[in-house]
Structure 1
Amino acid sequence: MACAKVDYYPAAHWRRGTKGGVECRLCPFNCVLFEGKTGICKGKKNIGGELKAINYGLTTSMNMDPIEKKPLYHFFPGSRILSIGPNGCNLKCNFCQNYNISQEDYPTRFFSPEEVVNFALSRGSIGIAYTYTEPLIWFEYVLDCSKAARAKGLVNVLVTNGVINPDPLDELIPWIDAMNIDIKSMDGRFYKKICKGSLDVVLDNVRRAVGSVHVEITNLVISGLNDSDDMFFKLTDFLAGLDPLIPLHFSRYHPDYQQTAPPTPLETLERASAIASKKLKHVFIGNIASDNANQTLCPKCRKVIIERSGYTVDKVEIENGKCGFCGAESGVIGA
């Protein structure tokens, strides 16, 4: 929908409470807010007894990125996508790699959905990626942008922590083409203590997304916190039970924000990859200098069908979605 800058955009998914309070129903925190109070995500506020999306259109970052940077390795490989993100998040991860825009107030600039779509078209982007912090707290804006983008033949990508209630997710998914979802650990205690969130919510939403959109998973591996063999086995079994072709990205952690654990050793990431590769066909290692762990192999003949150097795609051996060597379905979209 077209709009000029709106200071107090009507929020979706909320209900009235008592004594002028409102309950946000966007994510499982279900914040109850009285007059003038703001939700934990910093994007919703009770104004005059109604819930408003005070972050609508306010953008911290806008860049043209390789799709591989999201990371999405099996969705239009080698393409570039306009990437935007809001200020705020509904989790409080003490290791956040983007804490300056997720946990702190950060300067923003307003862009209408039409401006974003036109900019994407002018730059030859395949679409729009909602990313950098947590795009689900930008629900109203992402929905409007996604509809405008779809109307112009652009794709929509979510890079998300997966923390949202079922009804809004079901409303949004028809407009989304691909998602990279963070599974930060397979230990509910980790989510509760380190992220102030719920593992079960994330796993439920991964299940809802798989089969509806292209899904890839990222796991940021942190030394001493989520790097046990047991965790890697549980993550592998969960994803293999959904679809063994789901790409899994183990990402290297470096100390940031409030977390002081040492950088993840390469050996830990290789151990994680070895465990996951027993049941999953596409396992990658990110945030490291080596390219050896970032090649896509055919799920059947195991020859390299996408060759990468960092975020650059050097060669694609896929024809009409099939392996160029043996003809097996590759599971790669847009190649």
Structure 2
Amino acid sequence: MKEAIYWKSLGDGRVQCVLCPHECIISEGKTGFCGVRKNVSGVLASLVWAKSVAASVDPIEKKPLFHFYPGTTAFSIATVGCNMRCRFCQNSDISQYPTQTGEITGRDMLPEDVVGSAISSGCESISYTYTEPTIYVEYVLDTAEIARGRGIKNTMITNGYISTDVIREKLSGLVDAANIDLKSFSDTFYKKLCSARLQGVLEAIRAYYEAGIWIEITTLLIPNENDSAEELKDIASFICSISPDIPWHISRYYPHYLYDSAPPTSVTKVEAARDIGLSQGLKYVYTGNVMGHIGENTFCHHCGAEIIKRQGFSVTQKAMRGNTCLHCNQTIPGRFQ
């Protein structure tokens, strides 16, 4: 347990957490929406600091981050908890654990232990992932600071539901890259299926970019929920309004958790969504959860040459010199060296 950041006392024993847009008002002995930030005698505490529920080595492509040191590995770490309630969550057993059980689980793993494990595993980066790193931000910051001093990069795989103040004041300068979910461009979708609001995510995406953090966006394409051509155009246009250089990953949905009534997304739908993204001006749009698809590969936006070939989460061929296309010398957006 550690005292949390981004909260204020309301003077009557209650506290207000201002870490994310929920801005929970929490009575003594209670936790916020995420289930891991608790009012302990008038002080907001993180219950998951240095409590790892998952730790493993992953290809950076699995995050997915395709324009951030492709072909390298990331030491992935997570605690329990999340500040959304996505009915289609792929990691609900750990993300929803505190709210489902009223308990905290995980093994002790201090920030220096995480960094040491990353180094001994030969990883170039640490990825705060699997659940929602926003709700264990104190753990992220303490680990990231040590990692940066040891030459290890830091990435967040996040739902984007975070106060923009946290991004500007804490994450900028410590976090190198983030993959941010933009689950839909509909506030109704966010309220109905995620127990959140769209606007907070949109503001965070822009704040991450303006903070100098490399960002990539992921949308899980769910049949009849967020797959209309109009909505996909809205998502692509929004991303493009920030920068056409931002990669957009469009992932195929498979039934999971509480939302298992829709069929898996057809490959044709994923391909059509990719075409929409490209037609709206985005330079790099990728297909996800479609093994062996050409949409996994990176093509130079200038000459059209295939410069990174992937098979699943593996880079099998690369035609780049540093951060430039080997064929035309065009600079490719991202972090490559």
User: Where on the TM-score scale, by shorter chain, does this alignment land: which range?
Assistant: over 0.9
Which AA in structure 2 matches 1:55? V
1:231 paired to 2:231: yes
Give the superposition deviation at 1:291. Answer: 2.9
**Structure 1 segment 240-255 matched on structure 2, within 5 A:** 240-255=240-255
Cα deviations across residues 97-122 of structure 1 (Å, max 9, x unaligned)?
Answer: 11111112474111000011011111
1:176 paired to 2:169: no
223-232 vs 162-171, greater mean Cα deviation: 162-171
2:122 alignment partner, one of 121, 124, 136: 124
Which AA in structure 2 matches 1:146? A
Per the alignment, residue 134 of structure 1 pairs with 132
Aligned positions, number: 328
SS at match of 1:163: coil
Per the alignment, residue 88 of structure 1 pairs with 81
1:64 paired to 2:64: no
2:91 alignment partner, one of 71, 84, 98: 98
Per the alignment, residue 336 of structure 2 pairs with 334
SS at match of 1:330: coil
SS at match of 1:174: coil
Per the alignment, residue 295 of structure 2 pairs with 293
Per the alignment, residue 48 of structure 1 pairs with 41
Give the superposition deviation at 1:161. Answer: 0.4
Cα deviations across residues 64-92 of structure 1 (Å, max 9, x unaligned)?
Answer: 00000000001000000100111010001
Runs of 4+ in structure 1 off by over 3 angstroms are none
SS at match of 1:129: strand
Per the alignment, residue 11 of structure 1 pairs with 4
- Alpha-carbon separation, structure 1, partners of 2:20 and 2:241: 26
Give the superposition deviation at 1:298. Answer: 0.4
Which AA in structure 2 matches 1:12? I
- Alpha-carbon separation, structure 2, partners of 1:152 and 1:290: 36
- Alpha-carbon separation, structure 2, partners of 1:133 and 1:157: 13
1:314 paired to 2:286: no
Which AA in structure 2 matches 1:312? S
**Structure 1 segment 245-284 matched on structure 2, within 5 A:** 245-259=245-259, 260-278=261-279, 279-284=281-286
- Alpha-carbon separation, structure 2, partners of 1:313 and 1:290: 12
Per the alignment, residue 200 of structure 2 pairs with 201
- Alpha-carbon separation, structure 2, partners of 1:305 and 1:60: 37
- Alpha-carbon separation, structure 1, partners of 2:247 and 2:114: 29
Per the alignment, residue 25 of structure 2 pairs with 32
Give the superposition deviation at 1:289. Answer: 2.1
1:112 alignment partner, one of 98, 110, 113: 110
Per the alignment, residue 3 of structure 1 pairs with none
Give the superposition deviation at 1:248. Answer: 0.5
Give the CA RMSD over aligned residues. 1.1
Which AA in structure 2 matches 1:334? F
SS at match of 1:234: helix
Give the superposition deviation at 1:19. Answer: 2.2
Question: What TM-score comes out, normalization by structure 1 length?
Answer: 0.96
- Alpha-carbon separation, structure 2, partners of 1:180 and 1:333: 13
Give the superposition deviation at 1:331. Answer: 1.2
Cα deviations across residues 159-181 of structure 1 (Å, max 9, x unaligned)?
Answer: 00010112222122220000000
- Alpha-carbon separation, structure 1, partners of 2:217 and 2:164: 19
SS at match of 1:331: coil
Instruction: Kindly indicate whether the alpha-carbon contact (under 8 Å) linking 2:291 and 2:311 is maintained by their aligned counterparts in 1.
Output: no
Instruction: Kindly indicate whether the alpha-carbon contact (under 8 Å) linking 2:214 and 2:334 is maintained by their aligned counterparts in 1.
Output: no
SS at match of 1:285: strand
Cα deviations across residues 175-230 of structure 1 (Å, max 9, x unaligned)?
Answer: 00000000000111111111111111111111111141111000000011001001
123-132 vs 104-113, greater mean Cα deviation: 104-113
Give the superposition deviation at 1:332. Answer: 3.3
Instruction: Kindly indicate whether the alpha-carbon contact (under 8 Å) linking 2:54 and 2:78 is maintained by their aligned counterparts in 1.
Output: yes
99-108 vs 115-124, greater mean Cα deviation: 99-108
Give the superposition deviation at 1:334. Answer: 2.0
Q: Percent identity of the aligned residues?
A: 40
Which AA in structure 1 matches 2:285? V
Cα deviations across residues 306-331 of structure 1 (Å, max 9, x unaligned)?
Answer: 11111110111111311100011111
Instruction: Kindly indicate whether the alpha-carbon contact (under 8 Å) linking 2:36 and 2:46 is maintained by their aligned counterparts in 1.
Output: yes
- Alpha-carbon separation, structure 2, partners of 1:236 and 1:274: 10
Which AA in structure 1 matches 2:215? V
Per the alignment, residue 166 of structure 1 pairs with 164
Give the superposition deviation at 1:25. Answer: 1.0
SS at match of 2:97: coil
